[in-house]
Amino acid sequence: MDLGLFTTGVLMLFAGFTILALSYAASPSEESSEKRVRAGGVVIVGPIPIIFGSDRRAAYIAAAVGALLTLLALAVTMSTWGGMYP
């Protein structure tokens, strides 16, 4: 087992849990009477992304995050692919 990839995976898990905890801590207080929830997401089926959102801005943000994650996955794949990229 490659210890570097294992360590990277564990660090990414901890980073995800930390971001999740910070997002709950940064949520607005209950004192606000007006609440607006915006949500968006990306589902990638093969090479085709399906982008959805509650409004146009949330969909754009979801598309940008999806594009960044796709580039990150491509970079990790290319860096661990020993045959073609030394």
Low-confidence residues of the chain, pLDDT below 50? none
* Other beta carbons less than 10 A from residue 73's beta carbon: 11
Give the separation between CA 86 and CA 72, rounded to whole angstroms. Answer: 18
3-state secondary structure of 45: strand
Q: By three-state DSSP, how is residue 85 classified? A: coil
- pLDDT at residue 82, rounded to an integer: 64
Q: Which helix (H) or strand (E) holds 67?
A: helix 56-80
**Residue 72: which of 40, 44, 52 has the closest Cα?**
44
Instruction: Write down the pLDDT at residue 51.
Output: 86
- For position 1, what pLDDT does the model report? 56
**pTM of the full structure:** 0.53
pLDDT for the residue 28 = 63
